[in-house]
């Protein structure tokens, strides 16, 4: 199967280290966090911690076509791909007419695609949801089909669903057929939490690939596990000690860029992923919240090093 498994864009998570780990564990591609086109256009250089310095697929969010193009022009030397965020439900983004607000005016999305394609030589895609308060994908994709992006990423939920309920993979499959008829690639998103779920989506659905979001947080080996599962219907689980060792690797690499204290704080969110399935994991997480230095983290991990006996 030549279908791809990528790391989804996730604000606050898919920084350089998470992208590197995903690639090392077999992700076929990775995306940056969403980056504000206004921020890029206003800044004098390529300021902003979240703008990648290495070649990377970049996701942009913004409401204005010209800003989208101008931002892309400033990122030409690092971008290997541009994606237009048209699915973010966060109030602060929607209020500015960006993210999922664009789903109300898909003609604007189409215009962004056409304009970007006019100035960049790398692929251009858009990431959408299947509706705002109800399923209305046909209205949304009609202008997009005409603008002919290289790919469409479809999160199988409506905007008001947020991240709850189940993603509608039947709808993703239906849209994949429509988009393929125009030569546009399709990647599905939603509930890619296990190797079996990924394998199932790739096998049952007409997509060219899937992107993994929450399922990759504190769990970057999911890409390798999914590929092993697709090949042989089984995969290796990491022991809890191995998972904590990998957490430490993640922490050290992040500290190289942002410093120890910041890295320890930033990884509080991901620690939950690395410790999923451990009995008393809530207690462990609460204890982690209080740690401030590497020596404290090391001591904490050492004193919990027999966690293998604590699988819930």
Q: Which of 17, 116, 213, 222 binds ligand FMN (CB under 6 A)?
A: 213
Q: Does 154 bind ligand FMN (CB under 6 A)?
A: no
Taking the least distance from each CB to ligand FMN, the nearer of 69 and 172 is: 172
**How many amino acids of this chain bind ligand FMN (CB under 6 A)?**
23
Q: Which of 68, 69, 109, 192 binds ligand FMN (CB under 6 A)?
A: 192
Residues facing residue 30 across a β-bridge: 7
The span from the CA of 63 to the CA of 307, in Å, is 48
3-state secondary structure of 4: strand
Q: Does 155 bind ligand FMN (CB under 6 A)?
A: yes
Q: Does 215 bind ligand FMN (CB under 6 A)?
A: yes
Q: Which of 6, 62, 87, 273 binds ligand FMN (CB under 6 A)?
A: 87
Rounded to 5 degrees, φ, ψ at 125 are -135, 175
Smallest distance from ligand FMN to CB 45, Å = 22
Strands 79-86, 56-61: pairing is parallel
Q: Which of 5, 8, 128, 267 binds ligand FMN (CB under 6 A)?
A: 8
The span from the CA of 288 to the CA of 292, in Å, is 9
Q: Does 191 bind ligand FMN (CB under 6 A)?
A: yes
Site string for ligand FMN, 11-40 (x = CB under 6 A): xxx-------------------xx------
The string of DSSP codes covering 279-299 is TTHHHHHHHHHT--SHHHHHH
Taking the least distance from each CB to ligand FMN, the nearer of 149 and 190 is: 190
The span from the CA of 255 to the CA of 101, in Å, is 36
Q: Does 59 bind ligand FMN (CB under 6 A)?
A: yes
Residues 6+ apart with CB under 8 A from 239: 308
Q: Does 85 bind ligand FMN (CB under 6 A)?
A: yes
Q: Which long-range contacts (CB under 8 A, 24 or more apart) does 9-15 make?
A: 9/33, 9/34, 9/59, 9/83, 9/85, 9/127, 10/213, 10/214, 10/217, 11/88, 11/90, 12/269, 13/217, 13/269, 13/270, 15/49, 15/50, 15/254
Q: Which of 24, 95, 163, 262 binds ligand FMN (CB under 6 A)?
A: 163
Residues that bind ligand FMN (CB under 6 A): 8-13, 33-34, 59, 85, 87-88, 127, 155, 163, 167, 189-192, 213-215
């Amino acid at each position: 199967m030549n279908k791809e498994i990528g790391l989804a864009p996730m604000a606050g998570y898919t920084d350089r280290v998470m992208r590197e780990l995903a690639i090392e564990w077999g992700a076929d591609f990775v995306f940056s966090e969403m980056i504000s086109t206004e921020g890029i256009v206003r800044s004098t250089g390529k300021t902003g911690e979240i703008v990648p310095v290495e070649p990377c697929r970049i996701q942009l969010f913004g409401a204005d076509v010209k800003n989208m193009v101008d931002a892309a022009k400033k990122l030409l030397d690092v971008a290997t791909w541009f994606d237009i965020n048209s699915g973010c439900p966060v109030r602060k983004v929607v209020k500015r007419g960006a993210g999922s607000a664009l789903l109300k005016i898909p003609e604007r999305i189409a215009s962004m695609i056409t304009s970007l394609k006019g100035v960049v030589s790398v692929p251009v895609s858009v990431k959408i949801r299947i509706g705002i308060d109800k399923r209305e994908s046909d209205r949304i994709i009609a202008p997009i089909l005409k603008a002919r992006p290289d790919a469409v990423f479809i999160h199988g939920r409506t905007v008001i669903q947020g991240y709850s309920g189940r993603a509608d993979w039947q709808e993703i499959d239906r849209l994949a057929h429509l988009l393929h008829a125009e030569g546009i690639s399709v990647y599905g998103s939603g509930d890619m939490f296990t190797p079996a779920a990924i394998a199932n989506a790739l096998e049952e659905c007409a997509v060219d690939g899937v992107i993994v979001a929450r399922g990759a947080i504190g769990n970057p080996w999911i890409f390798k596990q999914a590929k092993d599962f697709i090949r042989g219907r089984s995969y290796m689980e990491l022991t809890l000690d191995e998972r904590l060792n990998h957490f430490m690797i993640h922490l050290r690499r992040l500290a190289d860029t942002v410093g120890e204290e910041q890295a320890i704080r930033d990884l509080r969110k991901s620690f939950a992923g690395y410790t999923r399935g451990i009995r008393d994991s809530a207690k462990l997480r609460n204890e982690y919240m209080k740690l401030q230095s590497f020596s404290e983290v090391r001591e904490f991990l050492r004193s919990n090093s027999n966690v293998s006996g604590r699988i819930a």
